[in-house]
């Protein structure tokens, strides 16, 4: 009697995705002639030949380099075998929230997020260490990255003294791989904002020009965050820092103007049936404002005898108004004749008694096309909410203790979000500190009824060992998580009060997402030192101290699924399994799995697109394995595509 053949399933990837591998694959597709037969490697001599005149063969060219740069590039290319373990006890609204808070070294975490969020992040904001000499400096290692991470978290107030011969190099080696990986996460229209001071602003600009492209530079904004100035500084009291802005692709990037302040909104003091408006002169001012510049925009507008309306056609008794400049020269209108005809209702005459003549003004509405007017952002920001003290007071008010040193204010980050985000954006901050970015996103959502999501990453650096308001804060993550909890409660309270005034039935359709799922960076749930593909089936590759949910989220990461997807524990014929997003992924990780259970799950319950079954569930029952694979193949042949993986 012939034995049934052994079934070999696709193995789950055990490493993070290397973005450079996909780049190499694109090169193979574009230049198949440059692919070495057998190995699949790229023959760069052949590639140079194919590119011809587009290759720069000169020996002298501009380059920005420093000791350790090649290792920094390798750091971004080295895959991670780590995972993210769910911490439900630290989370808020675990089952419903789409926000993520991740405790861990951001270099490893950025690698782990590549499959799930590649090209999906709309905005990145970071406030990295400024390299003043006392900042916490990430010390990366090519060895055991998790052990290296654990070493880092045990440090308190690590420093990078200016006497160090590699003072700037250390900082650049820390930033370069992180910015390189961050770029891969940005959406095509995505934008990154980076706060920095004068210590590394020039070097940061140089590496961003290299990573994001000099042509994708948008602005270097001066932020006046200390109006009184640092009196301890030599010669000049520093009053500012910088906000560096780069696009993933500047040609398609979309940035709105900044929101108006209450003082600016007060300028819209007139009102009609269409809403509040201000009056702007129709006469063009400044550059190219003469008739000779645009002859077609020099024409008469007529004002009625009672001064209440205007017309573009001459009528008896109506006064002709021409765009004359104050020195008597012929000027021009801001609008052409066709625009004036189309928007005639927006033109308002006004008699100027000092000149004994009429002038024409335009109604400039506060709300246009359903959106509140914004103002083009300038390259110097001096708003009061930018003051260093503002952010400190916000955290102090929420956590009842002076426990954060000059974090950015919520209004500052929210102003950036309002410029760069749409109503469903993903916002990433991988130096999240006290959690200001998460606070800003939650508040912005509540104000505009948006559905934006945040991903915050912070290494649990030990900074405090004190109690404030009966709460213990030992790490920066403790502060960030407690701050988000407190801010969420405050926002919900404010939203309920506002909605209660507007909603006569007392029922609100919109509820802001003020929760967050907490994950912690850790070593893989698999016994990687014992693991080789195709090994004996009686070996349980899952570590004994790890749960099914731990393994589930590692599977989601390796498969490239969103970590905020809903997860349910389900039962079929007495067998318990985990289902992600109603069948996006089904994980059968408990012993006792049968073919009947799989057939029921596939045909009548979840109808999954992906199925994960670790080898230990099959044990030594090769027939069970074969029958389950056959059941999934039958379902696939009937039009239900199912991908099956194991470890």
pLDDT reported for residue 52: 64
Give Cβ neighbours of residue 149 (< 8 Å, ≥ 6 apart).
104, 105, 108, 459, 521
User: How remote is the C-alpha of 168 from its chain's centroid?
Assistant: 27
Burial class for 304, CB neighbours closer than 10 Å (0-12, 13-18, 19+): middle
Angle, CA of 291, 311 and 354, to the nearest 5°: 65
- Higher-confidence position of 134 and 353: 353
Tell me which residue of 101, 126, 257 sits closest to 192, measured CA to CA. 126
| pLDDT over 80 (residue 269) | yes
pLDDT reported for residue 122: 98
pLDDT reported for residue 54: 58
Q: What is the mean pLDDT of residues 425-430?
A: 98
| pLDDT over 70 (residue 551) | yes
pLDDT digits (tens, 9 = 90+) for 293-345: 999 999 999 999 999 999 999 999 999 999 999 888 999 999 999 999 999 99
pLDDT digits (tens, 9 = 90+) for 39-50: 677 777 766 666
pLDDT digits (tens, 9 = 90+) for 620-646: 777 888 888 888 888 877 777 888 998
Contact between 408 and 438 (Cβ < 8 Å)? no
pLDDT reported for residue 62: 72
pLDDT reported for residue 468: 52
- Higher-confidence position of 472 and 413: 413
Tokens of 524: 């893989």
3-state helix, strand, coil split of the chain in percent (to 5) is: 35, 25, 45
Tell me which residue of 248, 251, 259, 252 sits closest to 123, measured CA to CA. 248
pLDDT reported for residue 148: 78
Alpha helix (H) residue ranges in 376-518: 388-399, 410-420, 436-448, 476-502
pLDDT reported for residue 202: 95
As a whole number, the mean pLDDT across the chain is: 87
Band of pLDDT at residue 3, cut at 50, 70 and 90: very low
Pairing of strands 643-646, 610-612: parallel
pLDDT reported for residue 230: 87
Pairing of strands 258-259, 374-375: antiparallel
Please, which residues bridge with residue 99 across strands? none
| pLDDT over 60 (residue 529) | no
* DSSP classification of residue 283: B
pLDDT digits (tens, 9 = 90+) for 68-98: 999 999 999 999 999 999 999 999 999 999 9
pLDDT digits (tens, 9 = 90+) for 392-423: 999 999 988 778 778 999 999 999 999 999 99
pLDDT reported for residue 6: 43
Residue 376, classed as helix, strand or coil, is: coil
Q: What is the mean pLDDT of residues 203-223?
A: 96
Give Cβ neighbours of residue 536 (< 8 Å, ≥ 6 apart).
none
Tokens of 483: 């701050």
Tokens of 23: 């780049």
Q: What is the pTM of this model?
A: 0.85
Contact between 439 and 410 (Cβ < 8 Å)? yes
pLDDT digits (tens, 9 = 90+) for 56-67: 666 666 788 999
- Judged by phi (left if over 0) then psi (alpha if -120 to 50, else beta), residue 508 lies in beta
């Amino acid at each position: 009697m012939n034995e049934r053949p052994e079934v070999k399933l696709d193995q789950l990837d055990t490493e993070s995705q290397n973005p450079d591998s996909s780049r190499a694959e694109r090169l193979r597709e574009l230049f198949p002639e440059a692919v070495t037969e057998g190995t699949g490697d790229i023959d760069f001599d052949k590639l140079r030949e194919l590119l011809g005149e587009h290759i720069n063969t000169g020996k002298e060219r501009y380059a920005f380099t420093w000791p350790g740069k090649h290792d920094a590039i390798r750091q971004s290319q080295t895959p991670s075998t780590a995972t993210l373990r769910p911490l439900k006890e630290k989370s808020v609204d675990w089952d419903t929230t789409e926000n993520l808070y991740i405790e861990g070294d951001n270099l490893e975490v950025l690698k782990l997020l590549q499959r799930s969020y590649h090209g999906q992040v709309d905005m990145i904001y970071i406030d990295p260490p400024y390299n003043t000499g006392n900042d916490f400096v990430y010390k990366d290692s090519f060895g055991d990255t998790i052990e290296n991470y654990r070493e880092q978290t045990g440090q308190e107030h690590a420093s990078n003294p200016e006497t160090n011969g590699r003072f700037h190099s250390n900082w650049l080696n820390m930033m370069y791989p992180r910015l390189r990986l961050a770029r891969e996460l940005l959406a095509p229209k995505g934008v990154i904002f980076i706060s920095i001071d004068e210590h590394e602003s020039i070097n940061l600009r140089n590496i961003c020009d290299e990573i994001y492209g000099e042509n994708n530079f948008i602005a270097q904004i001066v932020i006046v965050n200390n109006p009184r100035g640092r009196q301890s500084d030599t010669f000049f009291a520093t009053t500012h820092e910088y906000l560096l802005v780069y696009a993933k692709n500047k040609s398609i990037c979309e940035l709105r103007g900044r929101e108006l302040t209450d003082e600016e909104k007060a300028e819209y003091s007139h009102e009609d049936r269409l809403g509040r408006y201000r009056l702007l002169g129709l006469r063009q001012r400044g550059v190219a404002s003469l008739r000779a510049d645009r002859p077609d925009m020099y024409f008469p507008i007529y004002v009625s005898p009672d001064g209440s309306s205007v017309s573009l056609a001459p009528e008896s008794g109506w006064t002709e108004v021409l765009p004359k400049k104050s020195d008597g020269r012929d000027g021009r209108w801001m609008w052409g004749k066709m625009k004036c005809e189309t928007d005639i209702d927006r033109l308002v005459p006004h008699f100027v008694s000092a000149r004994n003549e009429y002038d024409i003004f335009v109604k400039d509405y506060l709300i246009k096309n359903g959106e509140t007017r914004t103002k083009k952002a300038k390259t110097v920001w001096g708003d009061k909410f930018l003051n260093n003290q503002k952010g400190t007071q916000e955290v102090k008010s929420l956590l009842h203790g002076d426990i954060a040193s000059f974090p950015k204010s919520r209004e500052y980050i929210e102003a950036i979000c309002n410029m760069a985000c749409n109503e469903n954006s993903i916002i990433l901050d991988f130096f999240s500190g006290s959690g200001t970015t998460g606070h800003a996103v939650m508040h912005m959502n509540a104000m505009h009824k948006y559905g934006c999501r945040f991903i915050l990453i912070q290494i649990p650096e030990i900074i405090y060992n004190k109690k404030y308001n009966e709460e213990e804060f030992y790490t920066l993550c403790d502060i960030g998580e407690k701050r988000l909890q407190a801010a969420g409660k405050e926002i919900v309270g404010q939203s309920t009060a506002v909605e209660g005034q507007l909603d006569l039935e007392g029922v609100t359709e919109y509820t802001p997402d003020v929760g967050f799922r907490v994950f912690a960076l850790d070593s893989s749930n698999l016994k990687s030192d014992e693991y080789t593909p195709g090994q004996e089936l009686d070996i349980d590759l899952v570590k004994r101290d790890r749960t099914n949910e731990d393994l589930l989220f590692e599977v989601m990461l390796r498969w490239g699924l969103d970590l905020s997807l809903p997860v349910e524990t389900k039962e079929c014929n007495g067998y318990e399994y985990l289902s992600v997003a109603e069948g996006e992924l089904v994980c059968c990780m408990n012993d006792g799995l049968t073919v009947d259970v799989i057939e029921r799950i596939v045909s009548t319950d979840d109808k999954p697109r992906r199925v994960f079954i670790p080898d230990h569930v099959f044990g030594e029952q090769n027939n069970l394995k074969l029958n389950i694979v056959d059941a999934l193949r039958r379902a696939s042949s009937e039009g239900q595509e199912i991908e099956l993986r194991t470890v």
